[in-house]
Structure 1
Amino acid sequence: MEPQWTEKDFLRCSGSTKLAREMAAAAPFADLDHAVQYARDIWFNKVDVKGWLEAFAVHPEIGATSKPISQWSKEEQSAAMATSGGSTMQELIEWNARYKEKFGFVFLICASGRGSPEILSELKRRFVNRPIVELEAAAEEEMKIIELRLKKLFDSKLRTSSSQTAQVSAGKHEVQKDRIGVIGGHLMAVAKVLSEKPTVTAGRTRPPITTHVLDTARGSPASGLEVRLEMWKGAQSSPSIAERDSRSWVLHGSSITNSEGRTSPLMAITDDVEPGFYRMSFNTGIYNPSGFFPYVSIVFEIRESQKSEHFHVPLLLSPFSFSTYRGS
């Protein structure tokens, strides 16, 4: 019997109503991997900052006892609770409060299998982040939690479906005994053929290289900013710091950032990105006419061993400074 999927099911995996609605509309999924990839695309490309905060708000603080905690949260925090000494847990509670006061949302971390000392150390490490950077880090951790909960959801649905199927089959067994024997023989033969076929893994749901731009001076996404992605195709194996020949950089794609500071795809969706040197350029002079930087170019290398990975290269911008980092 085919499992039934509802918006409420997916809301258990994430507090985002947007994600739950989109997942329920797309269900059923071929397998867990397909569901996870679909969820990643929704979470990072369709759910806005407000939706992220909506999802963060349903999570209890590590060690919290002031409000009801779901069974899944209890399971995810079990290692932390088992390794928490009195002083460690008290310190964790205090740092949780400091974190929430600074950033405005609960400290998000995929706690499954992590002890409280490790969680406390990570909280302290991330506490120094700027709010816009920490928001991105929290969103990444939330996605890890969503993946874990999707697996639990799939497991529970399959168990329920198998149980229901077994009950129906038992009730009809005597009436259909002979026919089931014939059909069963055919099914076993088909299953044998299918088991010999190689497993096909679903590909990417977004391009291998993505970006977004955040205006740290205004504390908001930077919209209307032109972005270009190019790849090095020069005679030399790598671009020199003195290289001035723009023809050696081949354009992959360009776009204008939207209201969320994100671009449309800068390259095609492919399972393996071509290894080499890439340059992402931002027309910051038009965005900040009175700023110090007429444009910003970020050059990075993708190695052969990394070609199946995802590279998120954001720009954190103000009129007189900028920074970047390797995201995922």
Structure 2
Amino acid sequence: MVHSSALSVHGGYYADQPGSPFGTQSGSHRQPADRRGQPRHAGTGPVRSLERGLRGTEASPGGAGIRMRREPSRAYLDRAREVFDIETEALARVRDRLGEEFSRTVTLMLEALSRGGKIIITGIGKNLPVGQKIAATLTSTGAPAVFLHPLEAMHGDLGIVARGDVVLALSYTGETEELATLLPILKRSGARIVAVTGNPQSTLASHSDLVLDVRVDREACPFNMAPTASTTAILALGDALAMVLLEARGFRREDYALLHPGGAIGRTLLLRAADIMRTGERLARVKVGTTVKEAILAMTSARAGSVAVTDHQGRLRGIFT
């Protein structure tokens, strides 16, 4: 949508464009006018040129104009499937490279958690939201984890790091300046560092206790620049760690429910009749022999859809709805 009353298309004017010598406006629909101010008819002039422009031109750098290419639907689907193929292939390659370092990472995390420690995820750029998701998955499956922003860490948040904690440091290049600054401080804090990187020879890798290789052959980006396949691989690796830890710690479905009381599983496993039953003034009750009118009034007073009918000993004889 173009929020402007001055829209010029391929040399034509709209009638209400500043500088247009003539032109009319009908209701909320502007009538296009040519350079001489004469209204042009639908299907000709600038309107038709605009339609051709939207169909046939590419997006201009910086979004300076309304120029975009409309390709056949088939081409869009082919490109989308290619992205899936690239990322699926990347995941398969990272999967095949999993080895002893992964197992040692799981053991390191288990030991930290058994001592009351935690898992700390850190990263910046696209790895920031990826790291936050990994931390959330770990925490929701019973492994206490937090995300540490590298910049905030240098201004007080390092207080969250304790000796024996395990730090997952995410950086595909392994040369992220903010992480390189943070690494020595984390080491002095007594934390164990696991590098998650696509460059096992990087600065990050050389300062880490363990290295998890998430190298991918290429990104799904046509320029091989925007993190796509690499961030998918890092996220999948985080999921793998969380699920392996879950099983290794004997985390059960009931434990999951305890951490998700508001979810469907939590309600199914944890909710009891006593948690939702009506008592006291919220329970509508009448004696046997009460009139229908009085029963309805009792329901209305309790804001209920039914009323319990009891005998003189208080025993339930029926329910009136």
Coarse TM-score class (shorter-chain normalised): under 0.3
- TM-score of the two chains, using structure 1 as the length reference: 0.20
Does 1 or 2 have the higher relative contact order (CA < 8 Å, sep 6+)? 1
Query: Which of the two has higher C-alpha Rg?
Result: 2
